[in-house]
Chain A
Amino acid sequence: MATSDDARSNLVRILTCGSVDDGKSTLIGRLLFESKAVFSDHLRALETDSRKHGTQGEQLDLALLLDGLQAEREQGITIDVAYRHFATRKRRFILADAPGHEQYTRNMVTGASTADIAIILVDARKGLLRQTRRHTLIVSLLGVRSVVLAVNKMDLVDWSREVFETIADRYREMASGLGIDSVTAIPVSALTGDNIVERSKSMPWYSGSSVLATLEELPIYRDDAESGFHLPVQWINRPNADFRGFSGTVASGAIRVGDPVVVQPSGITTVVSDVVNPSGSTDSASAGETVTLVFTDEVDVVRGDLISGASTPAESADVFQATIVWMHDEPLLPGRTYLVKLNTRTVTATFHRIKYLIDPETLERVPADSMSMNDIGVCTFSTVRPLNFQPYRSNRTMGGFIVIDRHSNATLGAGMIEHSMRRSENIQWQDVDVDKKARSMLTGHRPCIVWLTGLSGSGKSTIANALEKRLFASGVRTYLLDGDNLRHGLNHDLGFTPADRVENIRRAGEVARLMVDAGLIVICAFISPYEAERGMVRSMVGTDEFLEIFVDTPLDVLEARDPKGLYAKARVGKITNFTGIDAPYEVPTNPDLRIDTTTSTVDVSAEAIVDVLTSRRIIDT
């Protein structure tokens, strides 16, 4: 992996981890204070606060600099990630402060996702705790390359070299077991400021740098140049016929004018003719920069595509193994579908199996069938469309994704792709057989029959059409079965005798039932004059899968409308067995919805049906 301590490395992101009361707030407060990132009006507020809430008597309680939200201050705990800013002459720092308590794994993961350096705090009196292993695991999983181990409260162990070295050695061993090789251990006292900014006079045996000096000096590993050039497309810039560019942030590698590239997933290749950065046209760009690329040919590119170096295309797959961190009260359930956002592409994904959860304090693998808030586990999932990616360990941007709830839109979790898997070998063992329920998870709504009954010309087909359009627009999978159309094919051998009418409805019902099984919302428009046949169809599917909609138009209105002249013909006997004239229509006694077409427009009627579907929790738009 390439080191790039060049172009973009002086904006450095830090994560701090420590167990409650290890002195993390004090340490950060001191870093901010000593680097003059605290203004004196804030300090004055701090003096007042110290007297009210502080733990340091009349002294300034630097820890109080960090508390943000009132609710947290009242509970005396910090419950979210806070970002602090400070700068020295060498580097500008963004420090993510996540509370150390075990419930807050998700916050620490959030802070670690962008961190270049993690400061792990331990109390010299207590040494390594189970929490320390949790923090180190998270730092390792999220790919933070450098760790600073701050052994705090050295003042309380008589500045003992031995205490420090024992802790540092044990820690190095644990960290290297988790794949972290760069550990800088520093003995400090956050309270007195020893080795925070200046080298400590109390610990002359320590020859290394202070915490701040270390943060200024540590090399920053950011770009994975070996995985090649990758640019996830954010935005198509096409203001006029003369300019067509593709904008995004370079995820890795570098690009120059004249370089051949491939657009993924389409596979189309072309050549870069211009690289536009925020200052204008230039020759090249590299990881972390935001650019707009122009190509020599007119190629089709949409948001979510990936532009890669022609010789270094990203992997493409639709089944993956990933480490997942769950961040929401709603559990992760295998078989359920979610949205996955990787780079600028969002796709529907189904989680298949939780291979195991990782106990972050013992590192034991624990079997599980669901994941709860703050769980870390390894799962397999598949996506409806392939994703272009790189394994997370080689490239954070190309392998890190978030999991989004399809209905509430909440961010539920985060994942890091380990590798792709072959679909054929890995999908069949899923626990859930593909059944109605599974299909319904994929479509995002439950299936059902919407049965429109009513006299000829009452408006069934028109409303059915409007309803289908409305549902289609909100992504619901539908099919429309219309009595007239079915009579041209499947039912062309049937007439209008009572027996044929029953068979007509039976066949329509069977077709609708199959389609419900396939996961669709089947809209049926049939005169269906007999209560018994409507009941027969109702009984073919689940009780909550049949909605009877009575399209109620009075006969006199129909006879007045009569666009096809059918009623007139029936009245004079040219058509026989015509429902409402010389054949009976049994009015539904207890329909799920009655639509009065004399008072309601087509769209209002369709919307009324949507409301019923929504209130029955069949759809949720």
Chain B
Amino acid sequence: MRNKTHNEQIERWAKYVKDNPSRWKEKLKPFLDSQIIISRRFYSKLAETEKGRKKISLLRNTKILISS
């Protein structure tokens, strides 16, 4: 269960988005993109070895072979 201040943060940010439709995206974009960038960087590093590639296949439940 998250705490009260976490819920307050959700409300505060949602209200900001509602009140600033042309501004919220520029603030959020670096945060959202960074998660994809970090994930890709991690998987690329993991894909450098055979063992790492097998782990990726398990993690991502894929039958496609991951290349290095």
A and B, one complex? no
B-to-A contact residues, CB < 8 Å = none
